[in-house]
């Protein structure tokens, strides 16, 4: 199913567009002639990207700064989009982050912020915007999960579980709207060089530090694969052949075994 055609009053709402994969997803949509509305907390970054996109190809770009972990800020988004005279044709739920470290040492507030951003915001924005798409019988949703969705992830327990939630939710939503003209896909990247590792405090992580560079895919290539997959009507997109093989292997292995092996690989004496 193709992406909705570019129209002056229609937009692609891209969350987490101030950095990394989200900024590249916005660039990719603009490259395909679509207008974008950029959402994240860092308004200065969003305005810089908007200026770049507008000057490169004269794209229609708006900036709506919002903290997606905040239910009230999320609830205000449909009215803010309508005030701009726009309708959301494409929803890209990309904003997210990970924590790192064992649960028994976790910062409770940060863990709950992760669940609100990586899980609750995805559910909320789909609930807020998909009904309009199904009634117009046109639209597309791309939810950014991760290859972490396929395996339990000790020292990133809430992140792995959040992404498993996003993947499962996306498959279910896709089935529900299959006959409504709305297309839904999950983008499941493996490792990508962005601000993600620094935000998560994973810079010195034993497993992440040992990941072969061949597994890394550039943010631009991830974004291109995600938008291509959405346009082709794919259910899930895993950029990189080795990441695809790893996801299949992880999904087939017993979760308790995978968790024990990963924990042994990553633990740093703080058990
Ligand atoms: N990098 C990887 O290895 C990798 C692998 C698989 C999946 N992913 C997923 O890809 C997505 C993008 O990550 P990235 O790698 O591009 O990381 P990134 O460079 O750190 O970007 C994360 C984006 O999420 C936004 N964000 C975080 N918390 C937010 C909040 N409360 N409200 C609004 N926006 C928020 C950030 O914007 P502000 O800080 O300006 O709000 C930023 O734009 C995430 O869902 C991540 O889980 C990443």
Which structural domains are found in the chain, ordered by start? 10-266 (3.40.50.720)
Considering 150, 159, 165, 196, which one is annotated as catalytic?
159
> What is residue 259's predicted lDDT score, i.e. its pLDDT?
95
pLDDT at 271 over 60: no
Query: 37 alpha carbon to ligand 1 midpoint, in Å?
Result: 16
Q: How far apart are CA 17 and CA 29, in angstroms?
A: 12
> What is residue 146's predicted lDDT score, i.e. its pLDDT?
98
159 counts as catalytic? yes
The pick from 14, 15, 17, 22 for probing ligand 1's pocket by mutation, whose C-beta has the most ligand atoms within 8 angstroms, reads 22
Give the pLDDT mean for 128-137. 98
The pair of structure tokens assigned to 49 is 């990207």
Q: How far apart are CA 266 and CA 208, in angstroms?
A: 9
Q: Is the CB of 42 under 6 A from ligand 1?
A: yes
> What is residue 211's predicted lDDT score, i.e. its pLDDT?
87
> What is residue 165's predicted lDDT score, i.e. its pLDDT?
98
Give the three-state DSSP class for 81.
helix
> What is residue 265's predicted lDDT score, i.e. its pLDDT?
86
Q: How far apart are CA 263 and CA 271, in angstroms?
A: 9
Poorest-confidence range of 31-45, 97-111, 173-187, 254-268?
254-268
Give the pLDDT mean for 168-183. 98
Q: Is the CB of 239 under 6 A from ligand 1?
A: no
Q: Is the CB of 110 under 6 A from ligand 1?
A: no
> What is residue 59's predicted lDDT score, i.e. its pLDDT?
86
Q: How far apart are CA 39 and CA 41, in angstroms?
A: 7
Query: 135 alpha carbon to ligand 1 midpoint, in Å?
Result: 30
pLDDT at 97 over 70: yes
Q: Is the CB of 67 under 6 A from ligand 1?
A: yes
> What is residue 1's predicted lDDT score, i.e. its pLDDT?
63
The pair of structure tokens assigned to 239 is 């950029």
> What is residue 268's predicted lDDT score, i.e. its pLDDT?
62
């Amino acid at each position: 199913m193709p992406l909705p055609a570019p129209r002056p009053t229609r937009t692609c709402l891209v969350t987490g567009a101030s950095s990394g994969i989200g900024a590249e997803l916005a660039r990719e949509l603009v490259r395909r002639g679509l207008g974008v509305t950029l959402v994240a907390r860092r308004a200065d970054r969003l305005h810089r990207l908007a200026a770049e996109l507008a000057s490169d190809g004269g794209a229609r770009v708006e900036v709506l700064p919002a903290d997606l972990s905040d239910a009230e800020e999320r609830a205000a988004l449909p009215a803010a989009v309508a005030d701009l005279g726009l309708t959301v044709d494409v929803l890209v739920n990309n904003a997210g982050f990970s924590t790192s470290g064992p649960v028994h040492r976790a910062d409770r507030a940060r863990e709950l912020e992760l669940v609100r951003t990586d899980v609750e915001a995805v559910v909320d924005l789909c609930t807020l915007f998909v009904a309009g798409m199904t009634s117009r019988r046109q639209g597309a949703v791309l939810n950014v999960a991760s290859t972490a969705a396929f395996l339990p992830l000790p020292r990133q327990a809430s992140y792995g579980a959040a992404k498993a939630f996003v993947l499962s939710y996306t498959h279910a939503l896709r089935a529900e709207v299959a006959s409504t003209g709305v297309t839904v896909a999950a983008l499941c990247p493996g490792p990508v060089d962005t601000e993600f590792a620094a935000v998560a405090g994973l810079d010195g992580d034993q497993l992440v530090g040992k990941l072969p560079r061949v597994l890394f895919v550039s943010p631009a290539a991830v974004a291109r694969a995600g938008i291509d997959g959405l346009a082709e009507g794919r259910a899930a997109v895993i950029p990189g052949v080795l990441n695809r093989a790893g996801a299949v292997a992880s999904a087939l292995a017993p979760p308790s075994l995978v968790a024990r092996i990963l924990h042994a690989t990553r633990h740093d004496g703080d058990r």
